[in-house]
Amino acid sequence: MAKKGIHFQVSERKLLLRGMDLVMVVLGLYLLGLFFDYTYLEVSWENSVAVILLLVYLAIFGTVFEIYDLQKSSQLDVTFRTIVLMVSTSVLFYFLTPILTPFLPEKRLQIVYFYLTIIVFIFLWRVAYTRLIASPRFYKRVLLVGEVSYVEAFVNALRQSDPNYKIVGFIDCELPKEHPVKYMGIPEFEADNLMQTLIDHQISEVVVASFNTETITAGIYSDLMQLLERGFTIREYTQVYEEITHRVPIQFVGKDFYKYFPFSRSNQNTLYQFFHRIFDILFSVLGLLVGIIILPFLLIGNLCGNKGPLFYRQERVGKNGRLFNIVKLRSMVVNAETNGAKWAEVNDVRITKFGMFLRRSRLDEIPQFFNILKGEMSVIGPRPERPFFVEELARTIPFYETRHIVKPGLTGWAQVKTRYGGSVDESLVKLQYDLFYIKHRSVFLDLNIMVKTLSTVVFYRGQ
């Protein structure tokens, strides 16, 4: 077989970005103190706590401002703007932590050196990353072997998630049909030339994307067996899909569905559930205190922009299908559904101007902390949906009601990864993310969601 090229997995590239950002900051500050008259934050053992705190701030706000997003990291103009935002916020918080950080220097110019050095050295590394790691020489070149009817959905999902995962083409694994379905998005290669295709196009991985493995022809099956015996990488499409997109591909799951849902043990872990509930209570109390503080401003905005009740209640489906009434700040006109339940739409005329502000800033969700305190919801989990839409979606989307095995949440994996589900197709994508959360639920995933929720608020993405 042809020699495989070097490729960094998604997790490896994100770890590389995080690690090298921090290494470059330390290197920059070290060189600054070595060659210039700079004394504010020198890299030394005595300043280890102060240096570590700076790196922690950079790591946190780097996640908030999405500097480790692989799509954005390959665009230098977007990367530079994000670096400036991240460093500015991190340095500001660093200065506001006086107990653990050095006293501000008398020469204020040293602060400028400190600030610019961090920006310049991170950006230099990102230029190197774009020119080298994110370049075509490190793409993973993949050949898809599967049924044509599944190729398009699979290709589109992976293109949007990982720009370095290059699907070179596909081979139809089914026997020839009288009226075959054609897909023109990527080249199709002949099934008889699978081995030569791998050599000619320097393929490093084969992904088998077949809903029914019994449809794979004997010739392709024999070639795949030979490749496996030679140590060539052959992977199953649902595994690749979930790993790269962080979604469970339920549209590809058949009667052997039980193989794809080994749900996280955290769902039954008593210790995890206990601390999760403690976190819910503490966060809810804090959220309600913030709500009380800003309540006068909300009342004024509602009086001017909404002209009606500030709060409204609506029935939603909770854990195990139990119904409860959710409390929210009203963002639509009064009697918005006189003609029956209707999906919210982009530029929905029923949403008031003040209501749009509430939705984008996520302030309309504050009253739901009451539901969390009562135990009807959690801070993190799938968003609760209305019974009418649950019935409609459950008839159309397989496994839809599986999302009700955990408490619904104020925020969740679907909320930080995709837009509002205003149609059946968008609800399918949201369900894929919800099931991924249920399947991989853990403290680390919960922390990831909380940080990404800050990104949603900062970038005003609520809908």
Which tens digits make up the pLDDT trace of 62-93?
988 888 887 778 788 889 999 999 999 999 99
Q: Which residue has the higher pLDDT, 312 or 258?
A: 312
Q: Is the pLDDT of residue 185 over 80?
A: no
Distance CA(169)–CA(185), nearest Å, equals 9
394-435 per-position pLDDT tens digit: 888 888 888 999 999 999 999 888 876 667 778 888 999 999
Distance CA(231)–CA(257), nearest Å, equals 28
Most confident listed range (66-70, 224-228, 248-252): 224-228
Q: Is the pLDDT of residue 456 over 80?
A: no
Distance CA(244)–CA(70), nearest Å, equals 11
Q: Quickly count: other Cβ atoms within 10 Å of residue 265's Cβ.
A: 10
Q: How far is CA 415 from the centre of its chain?
A: 9
The reported pLDDT for the residue numbered 237 is: 84
Distances in whole angstroms, Cα of residue 423 to Cα of each of 331, 360, 397, 426, 444: 20, 19, 12, 5, 30
Distance CA(283)–CA(295), nearest Å, equals 18
Instruction: Give me the domains of the chain, ranges plus CATH numbers.
Output: 10-131 (no CATH), 139-245 (3.40.50.720), 266-458 (no CATH)
At a CB cut-off of 8 Å and minimum separation 6, what does 365 contact?
328, 329, 410
Of 117-126, 177-186, 206-215, the one with minimum mean pLDDT is: 177-186
At a CB cut-off of 8 Å and minimum separation 6, what does 390 contact?
317, 400, 401
Q: Which residue has the higher pLDDT, 13 or 286?
A: 286
Tokens of 32: 């600054």
Of 266-270, 277-281, 380-384, 401-405, the one with minimum mean pLDDT is: 266-270
For 183, phi then psi, to 5°, come to -125, 120
Q: Is the pLDDT of residue 168 over 80?
A: yes
Tokens of 124: 């230099």
User: For the whole model, what pTM was predicted?
Assistant: 0.80
Residue 325: strand pairing partners: 315
The reported pLDDT for the residue numbered 422 is: 65
Tokens of 54: 């700076």
* Composition of the chain by helix, strand, coil, percent to 5: 55, 10, 35
The reported pLDDT for the residue numbered 155 is: 81
Owner of token pair 């305190």: 373
The reported pLDDT for the residue numbered 139 is: 80
On average, the pLDDT of the chain sits at 84
Most confident listed range (241-250, 274-283, 323-332, 352-361): 274-283
The type of residue at 414 is A
Distance CA(172)–CA(208), nearest Å, equals 10
Distance CA(280)–CA(131), nearest Å, equals 44
Owner of token pair 């006109």: 333
Q: Give the start-end residues of each E strand in 302-345.
A: 311-317, 323-329
The reported pLDDT for the residue numbered 215 is: 72
- CA 9, 13, 17: angle at the middle one, nearest 5? 170
The reported pLDDT for the residue numbered 88 is: 93
Q: pLDDT-based confidence at 177, cuts 50/70/90?
A: low
Q: At CB < 8 A and 24+ separation, what contacts does 43-48 make?
A: 47/102
| Interval 284-293 mean pLDDT | 93
